[in-house]
């Protein structure tokens, strides 16, 4: 009688546990229907078109209307947020940072304009309007806006294929301005329609390789100014550039240009070394380029070195940015190619700017709005194209100077722009005798920071496929062209995604001692496997046509290997598929699950499913898969193990 009572008690406990498991399983099976495709699309469009709608109160009276307008203005123009608490001490720091920034920006802007094959004043124009617009619309406090080396290289390498800058400089300039307009349109669209994910197709590894390759190409192209070469190749691959340098060295180079450029390049690099050793002298490397321009200009003027072969800038147009609305070439036969170049430049410029902004924001502990940054960059380039500016973005070297100078807000960009305006009005005549070799030296001095060997080594250590994208971009830019380098990087990144998607891994899980936690037995050797149950988790967020067959065969292979490892004895009774990683499933994935169930059943094993996500369980119910597998759907792996083994024991 006593043994019967104990047995009855155990049976009651077992029944209670089964009822508890069944109740929790019903939580999974009876979940409400997820949002339909139409609801998801309309919600996405609403969030895209009116992203700030939830913040705004319902307009019922004048007070709420004014709050709505103010909230909208704060969202579009962040300057209204930070200017309310702006103090004199903030302006003091921003004034110092802006003046320091201008001392570096003026010579660099002239140099980058020549790199883009434009007249020098266009670099200065680009340092006026875009920084002012960004200060009003941007969310970064530290980023310094203006022309940059990589974008200048992109323009000078791609647009000459449409129009020769030497044969027709006016049409070339107009195409550059039109490209700037398209780049701004694409950037603004990315931000307004929340398409920032498109920028992410250029991965961090690809950017590291691309920028390093571009830096070497830019450096080699500066040999034209450093050696005083009059005729140089328009190609950007390293072999063509080296051939042009080799021919020039044997015929038409001028040693005076080389000596002058190398002397001031050495001076700039020494000041940079001193500035890094002593943080209090941060201003020294910042003003070194301006000092170089002033001293070299005086030297050429006093010695009349231009009469002895030293190449000089000559005329720089005086005055503020002229309107360029009528110079945009929308009827040009190459308009499609110009738009394509604008898209490429937009993505590269955004990637660099957002990376720079986020790096300094993380140091100071504030957040930048990625979509608002894209909108700000887009509008500043659109309006810049109307005012004789070419593509502007955030410069890492100048942003570092801005940060080191103690900037507080984007007001430092406004101070820099005003300083450039004063220079355009008063000092352009003084730059007539500035040697081109100095501009080459200034650009060369900025290039070592673009070649990040340490980061490339880290990429190699962490992810070999990422390093392959990095190397592909580097080699493509160096030995083919800028476009080939970008295409190689994006292609390798896509191939990586495809490989991971179509051949996802699968891991066998075991229970950690004295816990209900199930982990990969290879990662956690102490995790114990149940000889009667095989628990598998697929390492993929999507079970679809591309990987469904592979996943099915992988699971069958694991089940077969476990059976063979048990020396011919059939021990595995249940295969539990942990779906906690799986975000969605398509018809091919559902079909593969049904086939997997049949294959396991023919081998004397059952299939159970745990923790399916909302969309997944909804589709499994609609396809009647839950019924086909005997309703074995559970909330957790532990419940699945207990329920399946309990059912087997009860059957016995």
Residue indicated by tokens 């960004």: 134
Least Cα distance to 355 among 183, 217, 213, 150 occurs for 150
Sign of the dihedral defined by the CA atoms of residues 80, 81, 84, 85, in that order: negative
Residue 1 has pLDDT above 50, yes or no: no
Residue 124 has pLDDT above 80, yes or no: yes
Q: What is the mean pLDDT of residues 374-380?
A: 95
574-578 and 584-585 strand pairing: unpaired
Indicate the pLDDT class of residue 45, thresholds 50, 70 and 90: low
How high is the pLDDT of residue 565? 65
Q: What is the pLDDT of residues 245-294, one digit of tens each?
A: 888 877 777 889 999 999 999 999 999 999 988 888 888 999 999 999 99
Q: What is the mean pLDDT of residues 61-87?
A: 78
What angle, rounded to 10 degrees, do the helices at 238-249 and 204-221 form?
Answer: 10
How high is the pLDDT of residue 130? 97
Least Cα distance to 450 among 215, 256, 652 occurs for 215
Q: CA angle at residue 220 from 166 to 442, to 5 degrees?
A: 85
Q: What is the pLDDT of residues 135-193, one digit of tens each?
A: 999 999 999 999 999 999 999 999 999 999 989 999 999 999 999 999 999 999 998 88
How high is the pLDDT of residue 122? 97
Domains of the chain in sequence order? 93-497 (no CATH), 504-651 (3.30.750.24)
How high is the pLDDT of residue 312? 93
How high is the pLDDT of residue 19? 54
- Residues 552 and 594: beta-carbon distance below 8 Å: no
Residue 411 has pLDDT above 50, yes or no: yes
How high is the pLDDT of residue 652? 45
- Token pair in block for residue 159: 């647009």
What distance in Å separates the CA atoms of residue 389 and residue 145, rounded to the nearest whole number?
12
As a whole number, the mean pLDDT across the chain is 87
Q: What is the pLDDT of residues 467-499, one digit of tens each?
A: 999 999 999 999 988 888 888 888 888 888 888
Q: What is the mean pLDDT of residues 291-302?
A: 95
How high is the pLDDT of residue 572? 86
- Residues 142 and 361: beta-carbon distance below 8 Å: yes
Indicate the pLDDT class of residue 230, thresholds 50, 70 and 90: confident
Residue 78 has pLDDT above 80, yes or no: yes
Per-residue HEC secondary structure of 446-491 comes to HCHHHCCHHHHHHHHHHCHHHHHHHHHHHHHHHHCCHHHHHHHHHH
Whole-number percent of the chain with pLDDT over 90: 59
Q: What is the mean pLDDT of residues 2-24?
A: 49
Residue 199 has pLDDT above 90, yes or no: no
Q: What is the pLDDT of residues 421-437, one digit of tens each?
A: 999 999 998 999 999 99
Residue indicated by tokens 């909230």: 71
Indicate the pLDDT class of residue 7, thresholds 50, 70 and 90: very low
- Residues 562 and 534: beta-carbon distance below 8 Å: yes
Residue 49 has pLDDT above 60, yes or no: no
């Amino acid at each position: 009688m006593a043994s019967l009572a104990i047995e009855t008690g155990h049976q009651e406990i077992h029944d209670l546990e089964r009822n508890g498991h069944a109740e929790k399983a019903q939580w999974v099976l009876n979940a409400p229907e997820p949002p339909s495709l139409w609801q998801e699309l309309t919600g996405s469009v609403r969030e895209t078109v009116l992203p700030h709608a939830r913040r705004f109160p319902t307009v019922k009276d004048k007070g709420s209307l004014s709050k709505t307008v103010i909230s909208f203005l704060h969202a579009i123009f962040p300057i209204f947020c930070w200017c309310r608490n702006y103090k004199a001490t903030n302006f003091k720091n921003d004034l110092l940072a802006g003046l320091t920034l201008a001392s570096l920006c003026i010579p660099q802007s002239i140099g980058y304009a020549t790199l883009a094959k434009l007249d020098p004043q266009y670099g200065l124009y680009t340092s006026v309007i875009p920084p002012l617009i960004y200060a009003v619309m941007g969310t970064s406090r530290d980023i310094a806006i203006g022309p940059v080396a990589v974008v200048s290289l992109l323009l000078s390498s791609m647009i000459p294929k449409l129009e020769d800058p030497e044969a027709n400089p006016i049409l070339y300039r107009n195409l550059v301005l039109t490209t700037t307009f398209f780049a701004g349109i694409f950037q603004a669209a990315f931000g307004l329609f929340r398409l920032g994910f498109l920028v992410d197709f250029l991965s961090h590894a690809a950017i590291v390789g691309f920028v390093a390759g571009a830096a070497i190409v830019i450096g080699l192209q500066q040999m034209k100014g450093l050696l005083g070469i009059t005729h140089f190749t328009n190609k950007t691959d390293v072999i063509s550039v080296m051939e042009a340098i080799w021919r020039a060295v044997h015929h038409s180079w001028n040693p005076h240009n080389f000596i002058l450029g190398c002397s001031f390049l050495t001076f700039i690099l020494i000041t940079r070394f001193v500035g890094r050793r002593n943080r209090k002298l941060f201003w020294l490397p910042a003003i070194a380029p301006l000092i170089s321009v002033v001293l070299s200009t005086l030297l050429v003027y006093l010695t009349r070195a231009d009469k002895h072969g030293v190449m000089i800038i000559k005329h720089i147009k005086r005055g503020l940015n002229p309107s360029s609305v009528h110079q945009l070439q929308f009827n040009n036969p190459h308009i499609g190619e110009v738009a394509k170049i604008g898209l490429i430049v937009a993505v590269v410029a955004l990637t660099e700017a957002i990376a720079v902004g986020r790096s300094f924001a993380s140091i100071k502990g504030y957040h930048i709005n990625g979509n608002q940054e894209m909108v700000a960059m887009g509008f500043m380039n659109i309006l810049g194209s109307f005012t004789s500016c070419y593509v502007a973005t955030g410069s890492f070297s100048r942003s570092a100077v801005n940060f080191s100078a103690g900037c507080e807000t984007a007001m430092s960009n406004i101070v820099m722009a005003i300083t450039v305006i004063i220079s355009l009005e008063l000092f352009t005549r003084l730059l007539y005798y500035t040697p081109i070799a100095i501009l080459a030296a200034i650009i060369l001095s900025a290039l070592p920071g673009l070649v990040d060997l340490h980061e490339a080594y880290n990429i190699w250590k962490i992810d070999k496929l990422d390093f392959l994208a990095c190397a592909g971009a580097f080699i493509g830019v160096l030995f083919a062209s800028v476009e080939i380098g970008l295409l190689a990087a994006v292609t390798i990144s896509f191939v990586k995604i495809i490989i991971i998607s179509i051949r996802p891994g699968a891991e066998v899980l075991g229970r950690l001692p004295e816990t209900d936690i199930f982990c990969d037995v290879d990662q956690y050797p102490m995790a114990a496997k149940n000889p009667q149950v095989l628990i598998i988790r697929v390492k993929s967020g999507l079970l679809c046509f591309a990987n469904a067959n592979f996943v099915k065969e992988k699971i069958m292979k694991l089940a077969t290997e476990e059976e063979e490892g048990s020396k011919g004895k059939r021990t595995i009774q249940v295969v539990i598929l942990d779906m906690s990683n799986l975000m969605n499933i398509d018809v091919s994935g559902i079909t593969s699950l049904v086939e997997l169930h049949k294959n396991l059943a023919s081998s004397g094993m059952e299939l159970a499913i745990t923790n399916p996500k909302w969309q997944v369980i909804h589709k499994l119910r609609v396809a009647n898969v839950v019924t086909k597998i005997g309703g074995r759907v559970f909330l957790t792996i532990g419940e699945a193990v207990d329920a399946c083994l309990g059912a087997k024991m009860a059957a016995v």
